[in-house]
Each structure stands twice: as structure tokens, then as C-alpha cells.
Chains A and B, each alone.
Chain A
Amino acid sequence: MKNNHIFGFSVIHLILLGLLVLGLTSCEDPIDIDLQTGPTQLAVDGWITDQPGPQTIKLTKTTGYFDASQPPPALGATVIVADEDSVIREFIDVKKNGNYVWTPKNGEVFGKIGKKYLLGIRYEGQEYISISQMNPVPAIDSLVFREEKPNPFESRTGFRAEFYATDLPKQTDYYWIRSYQNGKRLDGTQNIVVSYDGSFNGSANTDGLLFIQPIRTSINPDSLYNMNDSVKVEVLSITPEAFYFFLQLSTQINNGGLFASPPANVPTNVINRDAKGPKAVGFFGVSAVSSKTVKVEKANIRAKED
């Protein structure tokens, strides 16, 4: 088991449930620990989509783990993204805060499906590059809700969202699924959802099928949605490399407990052209996005299945 989640179900919670009922106690306490800080590296956080509006690539510097919530910006870098037709777009750090931004002209969007994109960064005398591709993405057909208890221990009910989309046939697709509650992205560590042909990794046979059940409902907050919430779901096409990157990111930031995976560095696709030079961390990706925004109201609520 590579992760304490099996197909999205947390083994730890299952065990905790078991142990709770068995009257055993396990516990997690925050503790103070001294960690040695390693050398600083360039950290790239660049995700570009075909959606309207400015696109941003964030550059920061790694710091000690406990200081990393507010990392120092990497300033003074030159950042460009080129497509395979040699159209070069420059990203500028207007506010001098490490956010390098490209602003489209009226009606212009970034990227075309099927095209490859190259990120180039010149920073502190080093040149870093990274390549990604914009793959196609299926439309989201519908987004509905069912009234349920968030968990068996609660008496109140909420609304469990389920979206329907069909995997693109005759090709291997990788998706990143994001959801928003009243405009705020669900960004808990457990909210990283990626899918392979609308299913889980390794299930080579769901090509062209409706996204399978656990994926369809993987867009809910723990407490579920409330009446009148505005719920938005996005499906982003990603590269295989990005898919494995997200799996490992999810493993590493949700790691712990009895069945923890060995902690390991999350991979990067940002490469220093000088193999002996300092290495970068982070990831660069481009995605096509399909999305659906729906309000939790009567028209969208379905009867419970059982």
C-alpha cells in the first residue's frame, strides 16, 4: 500500500474506527522538534490553464521546514513560457513578490490543446527548464446532490455532491479534479484528487467509461455542502508525469500512522540545464479545464439511492 489511503478510503480512519469501538486509544500530539535546515533551493509553483485571465508562476526559495509557510520570494528571475510554434510569452514579477504574471490581451487565452509548452527560468546565474503539454478534457455533464449525514456520528445532514463526466475514449487520460465551496477552493491535504481514465491508477480498463463512483463523489468537504452553497467542480487535463507527481505529493503530505510510506522527496520536472548546478523543486504544468458551477437547491437534489 503506497499510501494510507486505499482508493481514496483512509485505512487509518478505518483502523481508528475499529480501535475506537474496541476501546483502544491511539493518539497524535504535536511535538517540538529541532530540525537541521539544508541548503536553499529554487521552488517553482507554476500551473497554467486555458481559462481566461492572468496566469501566474510563483517562484520562492525553500527554507527550514517550520519556516516554510512564508517562504522568501525568488526575485529578479527571468521567466518565459514558449510553445512549440516558438511563441514566447514573458512572465513579469510586477509586485516584486515572486509572482511572475502574464496578462492576456482581450479575449486571448493561454494555450491550445495538444501543444507542448516549455518553461524557462533564469535565476541567480542558473538556467532551469521544464516541459508540459496541454491535453484534452471531457465536459462535466452534471453535478447533483444527495442529502446525507457527513459521518455516522453526526445527527445533522448535509449534501453530498456527485458529478458526472465520461472519460475520453481510445486514449489514456489523466485528470486533476478540484472543487470550490462558495468560491473557496477545497485545499485540505486530503483534497488532492487525480484520476486515470476516470478511475484509479492501474485499472487499465475504464477507458471511455463514466467516471467511477468514488471519483464522482471525491469533491466533498468533510462536513459536506450546505443548502444554497455554490459548488464548482473543475476537471483539469494533466500529463502522466503530473499524475504521478500529484500521487506522490498526496502520499507525502498525508503521510503518518501505522502504515506510513517512507518519507521521500516529491519529484520535480524543473531541471537545471547544468546537471552539476543547484537543483530546483516544484512542478510546472499546463491544463485544459472543464468546469461546472451549481447551487445546492431543490432542482439539483436527488433522492437517496437506498
Chain B
Amino acid sequence: MKQFLHSFFLMMLACSAVLAQPAPDAVSASRRTNAQATVSGYIKDAANGEGLIGVSVFVKETGSGITTNSYGYYSLTLPLGTYNLVYTYVGFTKQNRTVDLTSQNVRLDIELKEEGRDLQEVTVSTKREDDNVKNIEMSVNRVEMKTIQKIPALLGEVDVIRSIQLLPGVSTVGEGATGFNVRGGNVDQNLVLLDEAPVYNSSHLFGFFSVFNPDAVKDVKLVKGGIPAVYGGRISSILDVRMKEGNSKKTTVSGGIGLIFSRLTVEQPLFKNKEGEARGSFIIAGRRSYADVLAKPFLSGDLKGSRFYFYDLTAKANYRINAKNTIYASGYLGRDVFGADFGFNWGNTTTSLRWNHVFSDKLFLNTTAFYSNYDYLLDSDLKRKDPKDFFNWKSGIVNYSLKPDFTLFLKNNTLTFGGQAIVYDFQPGIANAASGGEVRTFGLENKYALESALYIGNEQLVSKKLQLQYGLRYSLYNYIGPGEAYEFQTGVPAGQRRFPVLTTKYDRGEPIKTYGNWEPRFSAKYELNDVSSLKVSYNRLAQYIHLVSNTTASTPLDVWTPSTNNIKPQIADQIAGGYFRNLGKTGTEYEVSVELYYKWLQNQVDYIDGADLLLNKYLEGDLLNGKGRAYGAEFFVKKNKGDLTGWVSYTLAKTERFVDGINNNRWFPTRFDKRHTVNVVALYDLNKRWSFSATFAFATGTPGTFPTNGYIFQGYLVPHNAENSRNNYRIPPYHRLDLAATLQNRKKKPTQKWESNWVFSVYNSYGRKNPFSVFFRQAEDKRTVTMNGEQVQIPVAEAVRYSVFATLIPSATYNFKF
């Protein structure tokens, strides 16, 4: 296999070297063969110089086209001739350009102007708004930041992840749960990328806010199916978040003051030349919650010095070396800190460096090197450090990666190929305990793994009606030393702890276990007519790292663990099919889609009853291997135009799991299985100053395991499920309506730079006590009864509904920009 990878890589390099020849006679050479020329360039936002992702470039003469990549780059190869190109993008005024490709390749960088709201009525069609039908992508949701900004989530704060939870196929275990579930996948099965670096915990304050500062985010794309070969490493979805590059035209400052935290963002051009043109720019954005600062005067005694806050800092800079080379550096640093005496803190750090290189008009390379770290620390006493008596505990995951991605633009074909290598360093947990002055360190050794992948994919326009996207990814995983590998008892009844029988020691770099997986990807789009299309897709994905979490909601303290000789990589196969249609007077007023999916999941991690997940060297003996299946239908209607916009989505779904030794070896619904999910988002622009939004969410109650019987042991009332079943009941359904209004403040002079608005919002507006879970316990107070003439106290059983938010939550936020 090594040899294969080696030759594959060499082939790729050779291929790129040949294609990369930036020979001045490239056109004459091509003319001799099949007489073609290429128009290419970057497309940017005229207001701030941001590269625009997904701009459509349409050739009137041929009816063909392409969209810009994640860096705003496009390249179109056409037979020699003169062409009329149309550049269109959502919310921007379209541009027509005539390009002369009769003799040579043309570099054409374009700046698009954002259209004002007032202009909307007069401009005709502005973008390729028929993307829904025309784009080969399926099971993909792009949410424009502008839309996200109009639907404030909790406490008036705009939030990326809370917004994508309003899309079909996306759900959570409940409010406040870390992460999100896509089409029946676990929270650890989403690859959350921030400028191509993975983020291991996307939540602040458990799950109430996400780590993405909306002021620094440019583009959010969620891929739930038909995942192209360029992506890998997680099996359920890709959440690709791209940061803004920073305004390259002028310095801007924006920010907001809310109830829970404040934001401040500065953007500035860099290296301006005499003409005032910048070669680069940067953005730096920060947030910090300040409940602790406000609460300080009210805290006394032991609570003094309590900490409960989070902050994050997002920064990015880019520099255009020349027309062919641009470099980007991005970083994220965030931390949550909680605790009075005993406390914990956790956070992510990511850094990515990227180099965009245009080899020739046809070959584009992006190379990313990233570092990502997630760690947490528990401490028995945050305030006063007693060197004689303390307990603390650290855990985390660190990884480094290099990832070259090539795009080769050919006539009717766009070829992508590249690879990735990731080095993982897992720190499952190191604890220090001191008792009476004696300090002991204990915990688990770090674990190491190497994950590499090579892929090749092609997007092919077969005919005007049929477009294909296919590819193959090969991922190779090595669990390597230094470390110990364990073999466990066999023949233990399913669902019970297995004890280790053999320990083998491995040296640094020595392979302990290797896994390899071929991951085929395929999508096809067939246009039935101008306004409707059918799409189908299949993908297989492999995942080598697992989040060990056995609680209802995943916690910040869950530990990532590698695949080992005992834990097999997770594999998912998904097929999906859909019908896409545009409707309305202008043809694209409404987008409608119906998608069906079926997903098979292998090697799903589950846990024995009473599994011991913390600081357990023999954790693998407490894990079970299960399989899963998820299937459903997603209905989506979106209104794109007019004063009233928004969408309605409905998901009918089922998510089940099968694990030997659980639920009497029968399939059971997962904790996040929801039969029906309805989301309605409505945005209404009343006038230039006022706009309103409403979001409504409904979901079937999630399943829970309820007792059938009970007994008393040592005075405790013990719940018991006589059938030993899992998730045998459902909690009541969830529904919630949020309302928000945005007021743009009047400018005193038309030239005034200062822009500001107020956002007023009400979360959970009818104050429903939505159950997060229903659990059973003995009431705190016991009941006194007379038994055989004696007074005895007996425990009382009760069922308890636990709601994270039991009332409506109003808030106001002030945002500004200058």
C-alpha cells in the first residue's frame, strides 16, 4: 500500500509540474492541438475587497459556466473566440464583460458591487439564483451571513450553529447541548472547519453559543451528503466556515454590546501602494462575556473570585505577493472558564497558514498547514492554590496537518486532487493529586496517530442536462507508538466489562495498528427543464477518531480517542436522491426541494452499563461496537425575494442503533432520534429602518429510558427496568417561537460614517417549558408512615421534567460600524 501511495503522489506531482508550466506560448501550444484559451481571475466584493465564494460566471454564447472556489478564484477554458460573460452573485449587482479569447489567455479580476435594498426593484435578475436547480451540489445548505444576522438566537446574539440548526436534517439532543446532529449522526461525526482547521468543540457555554464570531465569518456551508472527495475524516457532515479576509479598501470598526457579551472587530488594508491599492488586509475580532464583571459587586464571601466567562479572538491576515501568489494566516483562540472553588476551563486554539498559487490559468493550488488544539483543565480550587491539598486534571487533543489541494480547470471538467497528512497527539487525561503535602501524578499516557489521505475527483459536464461529480479518496490510518496496546478477554457476555489479558509495549513511531479505507464519492444532476432537476449521490466516509461521551448531551469534558487495535474506524455509506425546483413569477422567487436519504453506519462506539470513561487505562474494555442506520425525507421551501423572505423545512426521520448486549439485542432509537422536525424562518423588511424576524421550531420528543419497576436498597429507591430496554419512552415534544426586530438608526448626515442598529429579541416567546429530559428520582423529602406500629421514613418516587429554559428571554443588543 505504501508503494501505491508513493507512486500516486509522484504521479500527482508530475501531473501538476507538467500542467504548471507557465509557458508564455501556452496558448499557441494549445492552439495547435485544439485551439482553446482560458479566462481566469479573482472575484471580489467592491466594498471591502473580500474574495467572493460561489459567484457564477456564465458564458452567454455556450450556455456553460462555472462558480468561484473558496478563495474567489475561477477559470474557464473555451474555444478561441469572443465571449460575453455574466458574473452574478446573490445580493450583488451583476456584471457583463466581453472577453477577447481569440489570441491569448486573459486574466480578468472582477469586483462586484453589493446592491442596495432600494435598487432591488429596478435591477432584473441579479445572481444565478437558480443554483438550487443548476448546481450539482445536493444535501448542501449555504446560509448567507446576512440571513444569519437577521435571526438572532439566544439573548439577541447572532450565532452560526444555532442558525444551521434551523435547516432540514440538522438537530440537537436539546437546548444547551454541545454540537449538533446531522442526519442521524453523532456530534463527533461533523467535521467543523474554521479556515480549513478542524475545531474540536464548537461550543461556548456548553451549547448556548458557538465559537464562531459572526462578525468575522464570511461564508458558512453545511454538506450533509454527496460529500466531495476533497473532504474526509468525519462521516456525517462537513461544516465549512470561512473567515473574512478583512477589508482591503478602508479601515472599518464594528462591534456590538449585548446582554451577555460584547464584540469588537477591526479590519484594515495593508501595504497600500501609491494608487491606494492594498496588497493585503487583516481582520481581528474579539468577544468576551461579562456577566462575571457585572456580577462582581454582588458576590461576597466564598463566591468572590468566582469565574464564569468565555472569550474568543479571531484574527486573519492576507498578503497578495503577486497575481499568482497569495498567502493567508488565520488564527482562533477561545476559552470558557467556570467555577467558584472547584472549576474547569476549556477551549480551542487553531492556526492555519494557506498559500494560494496560480500555476497557470488552469491550475490552482491551495496548500494549508494547520495546527488545532482542544484541551480542558479541571481544578479542585481555582481561587486559592494549596500546595498540600489539591487535585487537577488535564486532557486534550492536538493535531498538525499539511494539505495540498489542486484544482485543474479543463473544458467541461474540473479536476480536483490532493492529499492530507494529520499527526494526532491525544492526551486522554493526566491528574495531579496532593494529599497532606504528598503529590502524586497519575493518568494515562498520550496516544499518537497518523492519518493520511489522497484523493482525486472530477466535476464533469456531460451534456447541458447531465452533470457528474465523482471521485475517490483513500485514507490510511496508523495508530503508532510510543504506547501500550491491550488485548481483552474474549467470550465475555455481550454488554459486560472485558478485562485485559495481554499488554504489548511499542516504541516511538512503531505502528500498532493500521487501517485503510477506499472512499468512493459520486453525485449526478439531471436537469429535467430550466426550472427543475433531479440529483442523486452516494458517498462512503471513514472516521478514525471518536469522542468518548456517554451522557445525554456531550460535555466539554468528553475525551477524544483514536482508533486502536480494539476500536475500529467508523464508516458511513449514504445514498441520497432529490428533486429540486424553482418557482415564482421571475422563475426563482421560490426554491423547493425534496431529498431522501439512507445512511448505514458501522463501528459505532457504545458503552457497557456503568462504563468507566475517565482516566481508565482499559477504557476499550468498556466500549461496545454497534451499527447504526438513519433514514428520512427532507422538505424545504425557501422564498428568496421580496419584503418577506425565509424558509419552511420539514424533516421526517428515523435514527436507530444496534449494539450486542444492549436493549436485548434489538434495534433501539438513538437519544437524538426525532420523528418530525419543523422549522419556519420568516424575515420581513417593513421599511428602511425596521425589519423583523420570527423563527418557529417544532420537534418530536426525544427518547428516554424509563423505569418499569422499583425497589428499596439501604433506604434508596432504585429504578429498575424489568425488560432491560433502552429508550423505551419519549419525552413530550419541543416547540418554540423566537421573535426579533432590528431598528437601523437614522444617519444624521448622508455622509455620516457611523452606522448603528438595535436588535430587540425574545427567545422562547410563549415561555414554554420545553423538556430537555424526563428523569426519575426519589424526592428530597421522605414521607413518614406507620408500619407495624413503628414510625418509618420512606422515600417518595417522582418523575421530573428538566427544562433548560423555563421562561421567555428578552434581550436587546446594540451594533455599530464605522
Contact = CB atoms under 8 A, between A and B. Distances in A.
Interface of A: 1-2, 4, 6-7, 9, 11, 14-15, 17-18, 21-33, 35-41, 43, 45, 47, 58, 60, 62-71, 95, 97, 149, 151-153, 185, 187-189, 192, 198-199, 201-206, 209-214, 244, 247-249, 251-267, 281-283, 305-306
Nearest to B341: A9
Interface in B757-775: 769, 772-775
Interface string B265-276: 000000000000
Nearest to A45: B713
B726 interface: yes
Contacts of A256: 773, 775, 777, 800, 802
Contact of A65 (B289, B391, B607, B707): B707
Contacts of A306: 384
B776 interface: yes
Contact of A68 (B206, B612, B797): B797
B720 A267 contact: no
B807 A35 contact: no
A118 B774 CA distance: 39
B709 A38 contact: yes
Given A26-B805, A38-B708, A38-B709, A18 B308 contact: yes
A11 B339 CA distance: 10
B713 A23 contact: no
B796 interface: yes
A213 B392 CA distance: 12
A188 B780 contact: yes
Given A203-B433, A203-B442, A247-B610, A18 B338 contact: yes
A206 B440 CA distance: 7
Given A14-B339, A60-B712, A258-B552, A28 B800 contact: yes
Contacts of B529: none
A64 B710 contact: yes
Given A189-B778, A249-B718, A258-B804, A209 B709 contact: no
A258 B177 contact: yes
Given A65-B797, A212-B435, A257 B773 contact: yes
A252 to B, nearest CB: 7
Q: Is the interface of A mostly helix, strand, loop or mixed?
A: loop
Ranked 7 nearest A-B pairs via Cβ: A38-B722, A68-B710, A38-B708, A43-B711, A27-B806, A264-B609, A202-B615
Given A63-B710, A152-B303, A199-B433, A30 B806 contact: no
A249 B720 CA distance: 11
Contacts of B299: 152
A145 to B, nearest CB: 17
B618 to A, nearest CB: 10
Contacts of A7: 378, 380, 391
Given A1-B558, A11-B555, A68 B717 contact: yes
Nearest to B606: A262
B260 interface: yes
B799 A14 contact: no
Interface string B698-740: 0000001111111111111111111110100000000000000
Contacts of A66: 710, 797
A262 to B, nearest CB: 6
Contact of A69 (B208, B557, B712, B775): B712
Contact of B775 (A21, A248, A260, A305): A260
B722 A62 contact: yes
Contacts of A68: 709-712, 717, 797
Contacts of B716: 187, 189, 192, 249, 253
B794 interface: yes
Given A68-B797, A256-B800, A22 B260 contact: yes
A154 to B, nearest CB: 9
Contacts of A33: 706, 774, 799
Contacts of A283: 713
Interface residues of B, number: 108
Nearest to A213: B389
Contacts of A26: 802-806
Given A23-B259, A32-B799, A64-B709, A2 B610 contact: yes
Nearest to B338: A18
A96 B26 CA distance: 102
B755 interface: no
Contact of A71 (B712, B726, B769): B712
Contact of A18 (B205, B555, B710, B717): B205
A256 B798 CA distance: 12
Interface in B572-615: 607, 609-615
A199 B769 CA distance: 40
A92 B300 CA distance: 57
Given A14-B342, A258-B206, A62 B613 contact: no
Interface of B: 174, 176-177, 205-206, 208, 259-260, 289, 291-292, 295, 299-303, 306, 308, 338-340, 342-344, 378, 380, 384, 386, 389-391, 431, 433, 435-436, 438, 440-442, 550-553, 555, 557-558, 607, 609-616, 671, 704-724, 726, 769, 772-780, 783, 785, 787-788, 794-807, 809
Contact of B711 (A188, A210, A282): A282
11 contacts: A1-B551, A23-B291, A30-B800, A38-B720, A58-B712, A63-B710, A68-B709, A189-B716, A263-B704, A263-B705, A263-B706
A251 B340 CA distance: 24
B152 to A, nearest CB: 16
Contacts of A262: 550, 552, 607, 609, 671, 705, 726
B799 A45 contact: no
A199 B433 CA distance: 9
A243 to B, nearest CB: 11
A210 B435 contact: yes
A299 B714 CA distance: 34
Q: Name the residue among B260, B613, B714 with the largest chain A CB count within 10 angstroms.
A: B714
Given A30-B799, A249-B716, A265 B291 contact: no
Nearest to A17: B340
Given A1-B551, A15-B206, A260-B775, A69 B713 contact: no
B614 A152 contact: no
Contact of A62 (B431, B612, B709): B709
A29 B731 CA distance: 14
Given A2-B610, A64-B710, A70 B800 contact: no
B435 A248 contact: no
A43 B386 CA distance: 46
Contacts of B705: 262-264
Given A39-B722, A62-B722, A258-B553, A31 B614 contact: no
Contacts of A206: 433, 435, 440
A259 B555 contact: yes
Contacts of B177: 258
A170 B131 CA distance: 71
Contacts of B292: 21
Contact of A37 (B291, B709, B775): B709
Nearest to A190: B780
A185 B716 CA distance: 12
A43 to B, nearest CB: 4
Contacts of B343: 14
Q: Name the residue among A22, A258, A265 with the largest chain B CB count within 10 angstroms.
A: A258
Q: Name the residue among B615, B723, B798 with the largest chain A CB count within 10 angstroms.
A: B798
A260 B552 contact: yes
B442 A204 contact: yes
A2 B440 CA distance: 24
Contacts of A188: 780
Contacts of A199: 433, 435
B775 A263 contact: yes
B801 A29 contact: yes
Contact of B291 (A21, A29, A185, A204): A21
A209 B798 CA distance: 41
Given A22-B308, A24-B804, A262-B607, 15 more contacts: A31-B799, A39-B722, A41-B722, A58-B712, A62-B710, A62-B720, A202-B612, A214-B391, A247-B610, A253-B717, A255-B775, A258-B206, A263-B705, A282-B711, A306-B384
